Amino acid sequence: MKTILNRFVFLSIMDTIIGQGAEATIYLAENVIKERLAKSYRLKEIDASLRRTRTRKEAKLLEKLQKINFPAPKLVSTDKKSRIEMEYLKGPKLRDFLDEKNHQMQCIELGRKIAVLHNNDIIHGDLTTSNMIVNDELFFIDFGLSFHSTKVEDKAVDLHLLRQAFDSKHFEICEGCFAAALEGYEKESSNAKEIFLRLDKVEARGRNKCKG
């Protein structure tokens, strides 16, 4: 009963639910609150461990992004168990901003910033235009699936996911968007040639699966 009451009090002070995913609910109060919710289908001990591990990993990653001055929400606080409080970034999502007239410049900037992440061995893991905010510059959000990796394969897959996002949400301009993103990526990346070669192999695997 105490847990239920505590959760009711917590929810009652929140202004707006702005996101609901499989793993977490996002609230907007003074800042953005991300709460990883307990899953009844998992053993209680395993569930608590998973939420704690993922919350700590995301919080540490946000701290690293701040250290390298990457445009992402600043970490405000975390309980290190299931809750993260972070800066609220105003502005439209890139998803709602891209069009035939402005996609070139925006996607070049997008590619450059993905390269900055990869140069620091950070894989975003969910590169969609819904996870980018257009403000005074392009900000990245939602690092819940992000992780550290030095592997060329992981960086190539990250770019492949971006292409899939363009195909899904921006079909009419997807080729131009992705080409511009790769142009920006190549300018900033410390290892673009090898990553692009692996990207070709990743996409070839995808085509072969479709044929099968």
Q: Which residues pair with 24 in a beta bridge?
A: 36
Write out the CATH class of domain 94-211.
Answer: mainly alpha
Is the pLDDT at 11 greater than 50, yes or no? no
The verdict on pTM exceeding 0.75 is yes
What's residue 211's pLDDT? Answer: 38
Task: Specify the CATH number of the domain 2-86.
Answer: 3.30.200.20
Regarding predicted confidence, which is higher, 212 or 183? 183
Confidence of residue 119 (pLDDT cuts 50, 70, 90): very high
Residues 71-91, mean pLDDT to the nearest whole number = 95
Long-range contacts: 146-150, Cβ < 8 Å, 24+?
146/58, 146/61, 146/122, 147/57, 147/61, 147/122, 147/123, 148/61, 148/121, 148/122, 148/123, 149/121, 149/123, 150/121
In the chain, what are the domain boundaries? 2-86, 94-211
The residue from 15, 99, 121, 126 that is catalytic is 126
Among this protein's residues, is 126 annotated catalytic?
yes
Average pLDDT of 71-76?
A: 97
Q: Which of 161, 175, 86 is nearest to 118 (CA)?
A: 161
State yes or no: pLDDT of 10 exceeds 80: no
